[in-house]
Amino acid sequence: MDKVMLRCFVSRCLLTNPVAGQTRKMSRGSLAGSQSSLAGKVAIVTASTDGIGLAAAQALGQRGAHVVVSSRRQSNVDKAVALLQSEKIQVTGTTCNVGKSEDRERLVNMTVEHCGGIDILVSNAAVNPFFGNIMDSTAAVWDKILDVNVKAAFLMTQLVVPHMEKRGGGSVVFVSSVAGYQPMQALGPYSVSKTALLGLTRALAPELAQSHIRVNCVAPGVIKTRFSQALWQDEDIVDEFKKQLSIKRVGEPEEIGGVIAFLCSKDASYITGETITVTGGMSCRL
């Protein structure tokens, strides 16, 4: 990613946060210690062998859910399954490219066959094959980004809903981004796709509420994952971001995983159609 473009985004596109001073670091284990239980629940988490997806699988599993993890590469699936098993989490793993209809169907069918049903879907899969001026983006770029980041999220939901209905309800969580509120320079098409997930959440929530299925969304800020390493590995860029934050640090995947698990729990039983921004206090709203 072009460093100049990133710095320009940081300095020009974010509103200055009025809260000054260093905020005390919050406990990473606070949400992990929640008394809410997901025992007996089955959760599909897409793109879940690394970063936020893996953290979500861990958080759900720690609360008792049987998690189904997936990735495009078998080696990544094997590593994630081994890690989760070492943490005494019930887990099943398989390869899946959510951009392919046959892979989506196989993931859902395998989950039902092995686990007996589906209660939770965390749609985390996303791609970003383009960096640069949005006017230089091609039709192929838009097709790839929208197919995976938006269309596949809806189509996965469409596949799991009948199985959730059989179990009396469920929970869907889409993983958007702070870029969905404040488009990032050099990441135009990706940012638009994340804005679309905010709308998809609001569109699905009232319809699926009739089936006792809640639909919510999480919009992370700058989180220390491989996907966003071009941001957090550059100290100059991180320093600029920190000026916009109340909590003066980059977020950790576990801090997103905990929020996702909360949204899937009974503690969030009266929440639907909402997007929770997890940004360390970054001021970004539509």
The DSSP bridge partners found for residue 223 are: 251
Q: Which residue has the tokens 């989760």?
A: 84
Residue pair 60/260 in contact by the 8 Å Cβ criterion: yes
Residue pair 128/188 in contact by the 8 Å Cβ criterion: no
Q: Helix, strand, or coil here: 214?
A: strand
Alpha-carbon gap, residue 1 to 131, rounded angstroms: 6
Residue pair 28/254 in contact by the 8 Å Cβ criterion: yes
Alpha-carbon gap, residue 286 to 274, rounded angstroms: 14
The structure tokens listed for 135 are: 């006017």
Give the chain's end-to-end CA distance (angstroms, integer).
25
In 3D, which of 282, 234, 232, 225 has the Cα closest to residue 257? 225
The structure tokens listed for 12 are: 């020009």
Q: Which residue has the tokens 């099943």?
A: 92
Residue pair 7/240 in contact by the 8 Å Cβ criterion: yes
Query: Which H or E element spans position 215?
Result: strand 213-220
Point out the catalytic residue in the list 9, 190, 241, 262: 190
| 181 catalytic per annotation | no
**Catalytic (active-site) positions:** 190
